[in-house]
Structure formats: structure tokens, C-alpha cells
Amino acid sequence: MKTIVAQPFDFTFDPAHLALVVIDMQRDFIEPGGFGATLGNDVSLLARIVPTVGRLLEAFRKAGLPIIHTRECHRPDLSDCPPAKRLRGKPSMRIGDEGPMGRILVSGEPGADIVPALAAKPGETVLDKPGKGAFYATPLGEILAERRITHLVFAGVTTEVCVQTTMREANDRGFECLLAEDATESYFPEFKKAALDMIRAQGAIVGWTATVAEIETALR
């Protein structure tokens, strides 16, 4: 057993049953001209965690532990994108529209891919998900069960939407979850803070949080 110094108390795990889930580190959310920018967001807030997510990936790779990357995107015919999602708000472009990096959040388009610095390596799993949570309409649950995973470390964007949704889904399924505080981000810093507080409230009601350095130390 190993232990990560974490909040609200230490996170203990067996490395044989630990995996990393990196949520939606995609060009459409992180690079200028992508979907995040069309919503009026400052994408540089998300771009600044690319180095720390990279460190976390490297720590898991060196330890030989499973890594799962997710991408939020839809089929080209948008049959898996309900109108309630596509028509929400007043962005300058919507899901499926042609943007600077191809059709926005459509599978196979350049903008839907993971930023090059964090691209998956051979042997790592990449899951396309149509929803905010990574368990909905994906084989994630089956993949984790097959590998006998019980503990998950999370990173990615955005903290309060896809990351927190997936952590809550995982918690409901019995997984012990830890979020890397400096490898996740929001377009709204106050939302990230609130999400971290909610996740670790009431004695880790959803999960734990720790820094990448604390995770690296435990995995060495």
C-alpha cells in the first residue's frame, strides 16, 4: 500500500489497482479559436495547466500504471448531441459548426483532439464521450472493471463541469477518487475553488485532493 498526502486526509491506495483519468484536455477547450474561446472565455487559464498535467502523465508512465484520456465530442451527424446541449446559450459558434480547427467538438476533427503536448502514448486508452461525465455512453466502467481498478486519480478540464461530474459518477460506482489540484482548471477560478471545496467536504464526500508534487512523491 502507498499513501498520498492529501486533503482532507491521506489517500491510501494499492498501485496495482490505481489508474489516471485525464479529462478533455482538447484543443477546442484550450487553444485560441476553439469552442472555449467562442463562449467568451480566457483559454489561457486552461492552457497554463498543460505542464502540470504533463508531469502527472509522466509520473504514471514511469510507474507503469494505466492512463485513460477522454475527449468530449460527437458523431458527425450529431445524433448523440441533444438539442438541449447544442442550443444552450448564445455562443458565436455551436457544436458542429465549422471553426478554425474543423467542426466544433466533432469526433475526428482537429479541435476535438488532445493538445499535442499531452497526446496519448501507445497502450493508453482514449475515450470519446458525448456527455459531461465519462461513464455516460462509454465503456469506461467495463474498462476499469476488467483492469480491477478501485482507485482513480483525476486531472483535466473543467473542474466544476466534466471533471466533477465524472468524479461524482465514479463515487456512486464505489471508486475512491483523488483530484490533482494543480492539474485541473476552470475558466472561472472561483468555480474551481468551490468545486475543490465540495469534493473534499464532509470527510471526502466525493473524493480527495492533492498536488501533483504530492502524487509524484507517492508514485516514485
Q: What is the mean pLDDT of residues 17-22?
A: 99
90 is catalytic: no
**Which pLDDT belongs to residue 208?**
99
Among this protein's residues, is 80 annotated catalytic?
no
**Spatial CA neighbour of 129 closest among 112, 152, 149, 144:** 112
Q: Please tell me the predicted confidence (pLDDT) of residue 33.
A: 86
Edge to edge, the sheet with strand 125-129 lists 125-129, 67-72, 18-23, 151-157, 176-185, 208-210
**Nearest Cα to Cα of residue 106 among 133, 87, 80, 138:** 80
- Is 162 noted as a catalytic residue in this protein? yes
pLDDT at residue 93, rounded to an integer = 85
| Average pLDDT estimate for 17-37 | 96
Mean pLDDT of the chain, nearest integer:
97
Residue 66 has pLDDT above 90, yes or no: yes
182 pLDDT band (50/70/90 cuts)?
very high
pLDDT at 89: 73
Instruction: Name the DSSP class of 107.
Output: T
Tens-place pLDDT, residues 74-121: 999 999 999 999 998 777 789 999 988 999 999 999 999 999 999 999
Quote the pLDDT of residue 102. 95
CA distance to 33, 175, 181, 192, per residue, from 7 (Å): 36, 17, 10, 15
What pLDDT was estimated at residue 21?
Answer: 99
- Please check the confidence at residue 71 and state whether its pLDDT lies above 90: yes
Strands 18-23 and 2-4: unpaired
Choosing from 28, 81, 113, 162, which is the catalytic residue?
162
pLDDT tens column, 40-55: 999 999 999 999 999 9
Within 8 A by CB and 6+ apart from 116, the residues are: none
Q: Model's pTM, two decimal places?
A: 0.97
Q: What is the pLDDT of residue 90?
A: 73
Report in angstroms the alpha-carbon separations of 154 from 2, 68, 178.
17, 10, 6
Q: What is the pLDDT of residues 115-164, one digit of tens each?
A: 999 999 999 999 999 999 999 999 999 999 999 999 999 999 999 999 99
Kindly name the residue from 28, 113, 129, 177 that is annotated as catalytic. Answer: 129
